[in-house]
Amino acid sequence: MKKTYYIYLANGQISQDRESSPWNFKIEATDEEVTRLREYFDQNYSTEIQNFYRAHVPYVQYHYDRENDAYDETLLKIYRMIHELGDEEAKNHIESMGILE
């Protein structure tokens, strides 16, 4: 059974309460879909921590960096899921970004 969730990308928050915090996207998802989305957010949080520690290494270039590639790939998975599960406004916004092409 699908339920309504509100997604805040800045901190990876997924909530069923529209009023509890700011949100970017509204989706309809099953428990399994929300669990998968949370796992994607958790993966990117872990990658962000690794990137923070490596940020002080001046010779690493973004385009040749596995951790940045992993972050970008997971972020794309997050946007795909939100596009798939989102309301019309979410779908339109993500399409306007042109990142799924």
Taking only the tens place, the pLDDT of each residue in 76-89 is: 999 999 999 999 99
Amino acid letter, residue 79: Y
Q: Report helix, strand and coil shares of the chain as percent, to nearest 5.
A: 55, 15, 30
Q: Does residue 21 carry a pLDDT above 70? A: yes
Positive/negative CA dihedral, 72, 73, 74, 79? positive
The percentage of the chain sitting over the pLDDT mark of 90, rounded to a whole number, equals: 63
**What is residue 66's predicted lDDT score, i.e. its pLDDT?**
67
Determine how β-strand 3-8 pairs with β-strand 13-15. antiparallel
Within its chain, how far is the Cα of 95 from the centroid? 15
Q: Does residue 72 carry a pLDDT above 60? A: yes
Edge-to-edge strand ranges of the sheet holding 25-29: 13-15, 3-8, 25-29
Q: Residues with Cβ < 8 Å from 100, sequence gap 6 or more?
A: 76, 79, 80, 83, 94
Query: What residue numbers bound the domain in which 82 lies?
Result: 3-97
Number of folded domains that form the chain: 1
